[in-house]
Structure 1
Amino acid sequence: MYRPARKALQCFFVMILALAGLPVSAAEVVRVGAAHFPPYTIRPELGDATGLLPQMLVALNAMQSDYQFVLTPTALPRRFGDFKQGRIDMAIFENPAWGWQDIPHQTVDMGLEDAEVMVAHAQTGLGQTYFDDLTGKRLALFSGYHYAFAHFNADPKYLADTYNATLTYSHDANLLMVERGRADIALVTRSYLKDYIKRNPESGDSLLPSVKVDQIYHHYALLRPQAPISAEKFSALLEQLRHNGELARIFGPYQIAVMPSGAGNSSITSGSN
């Protein structure tokens, strides 16, 4: 063996032996539940989810190596069971009042705010007073969502019987129903309406959004008590994303308010069972 080759081989073995004496720690995998909730998560069940959540997980993974945040598909009605059974470690963009009261969890205030607005077909003479009374109006709603005007009761029969609602699994379909006169009002998040008009600019003049909101979405992350990451650590990571501008970069273009540090965001509370 030539001397240079032998010397290189010796150096290689020295490096291997040195590395063998170092502690090796793999990143903890944190499974983040992803239900179809555009523009936050779009069709995660298809295996190639897009939206704001995947972007946020990329940012979280890029800035540290202790945790690997992975997107795990679930569904709106199934997410409670997946959470309790440990299939997901975290439910995100949630509200603790949406059926989580009896499920053990820790809550992290994400400091992000969106809003649910009513959208009607823009017509001559139609103004904001149109949204004051829903009596007799045909509503287009997303199945499984909790609406403030309905006292957060998501039961499909209740919504259909009480509010003359048609329930679908597509916000696009609901807005098209309004544009085509098949429904009087659709309810969507302000962020979704922004995205819809971006994708369908011709609809910008045909839709009238309400100034008043049905509810403010103040987003929370809910963590299992046995999650690989603590609520305190996840809260600290969110603060890093807030500080380095990543939260504003991801959520700002969709009119999702990123609350400043010290404005009550990233607080932690525990759910009871």
Structure 2
Amino acid sequence: MSSPIRTASRLLLAALAVCCVLPSQAAQLVRVGAAHFPPYTVRPESGADTGLLPQLVEALNQAQTDYQFELVPTSIPRRFGDFKQGRVDMAIFENPDWGWKDIPHTLVDMGLEDAEIFVAQKKPDRDQNYFKDLTGKRLALYSGYHYEFANFNADPKYLADTYKATLTYSHDSNLLIVLRGRADIALVTRSYLSDYLLRNEKVGEQLLVSQRIDQVYHHYALIRPQAPITGEAFGKLLQGLRDNGQMLKIFDPYKIALVPVGKD
């Protein structure tokens, strides 16, 4: 027969074990869509945790235990269907102008800004005036992206017919097309170009970068109405990362600006 003291000790140990297990059981799974969008997400289907989105998700998971954020690979064209069908709960680094207006969602301002800029091959007779008029120029564009100069129309045929556009799934390829003279202008995100020039220092001497901006990316998170996390709760988590310096640490190296939330 067990003594009262031994029985009480066992009960205490069992209670402690339950307390240790409960936090992980209570964490609600939040599935985050990960589409190839460098430098934010780099080929998520390969399983490699590269890009800014994996860094942000890791910081979110380390900061709290109520939610477990998990990346779910998707693609630029497929992400809308995955969101509507509930395969993902959240799309991050998005903007409602990029095809989301008819899809129910809660919008969370991330307080982050990037920009889309024009890049051409540097030549003696070219200066910033080269970017003022796109008429007759061959463009190298990222397939599926919504550009302001095209009124956010991402239809490949429209872009090819109207802007002589070559569409690829790689900013590297678009820059190479320009350097080889097969296109006149490529559009790339400022964050991506910053990273590209760090990796290819000599190429910078061959490129003319526009002061003209096609659009400023003000980034938002879009949350499904049935998601396990609310917009308010996610906003508070982002604010916590901003307060502890994690947001600056992740995004500043890529020249992605932290701006006041709700500045619009």
User: TM-score under structure 1 normalisation?
Assistant: 0.90
> 1:235 corresponds to which residue?
235
> In structure 2, what is the equivalent of residue 206 of structure 1?
206
Query: Any runs of at least 4 consecutive aligned residues in structure 1 with deviations exceeding 6 A, and if so which?
Result: 9-12
SS at match of 1:205: helix
* TM-aligned CA deviation for residue 13 of structure 1: 2.5
- 1:18 positional shift: 2.2
Partner of 1:110: 110
CA distance in 1, matches of 2:100, 2:39: 23
**Structure 2 counterpart of 1:86:** 86
| 2:257 match | 257
Q: Specify the SS of the correspondent of 2:108.
A: strand
**Residue of structure 1 in register with 2:181 after alignment:** 181
TM-score (norm 2): 0.93
Q: Give the whole-Å Cα distance in 2 for the aligned partners of 1:21 and 1:90.
A: 31
Identity of aligned residues (%): 66
* Equivalent residues in 2 for 1:144-155, closer than 5 Å: 144-155=144-155
Cα distance in 2, alignment partners of residues 196 and 11 from structure 1: 63
1:207-254 superposed Cα distances (whole Å, 9 cap, x missing partner): 111101000100000000111111000000000111111111100111
1:47 aligned residue: 47
Q: For structure 1, which runs of at least 5 residues remain unmatched after alignment?
A: 1-5, 268-273
Structure 2, unmatched stretches of 5+, are: none
Q: Which residue of 1 aligns with 2:16?
A: 19
Paired residues for 1:27-46 under 5 Å: 27-46=27-46
SS in structure 1 at match of 2:225: coil
Counterpart CA distance in 2 for 1:49 and 1:118 is: 29
TM-superposition CA deviations, 1:24-44 (whole Å, max 9, x none)? 342111100010000000000
Partner of 1:271: none
Q: Does 1:195 align with 2:195?
A: yes
Alignment deviations for residues 138-179 of structure 1 (CA, whole Å, 9 cap, x no partner)? 110010000011110000000000000000111100001111
Q: Considering only aligned residues, what root-mean-square deviation do their CA atoms show, in Å?
A: 2.0
Bigger fraction of residues in helix: 2
Distance 1:47 1:21, change over 3 A: closer
Structure 1 residue 21: Cα displacement? 6.8
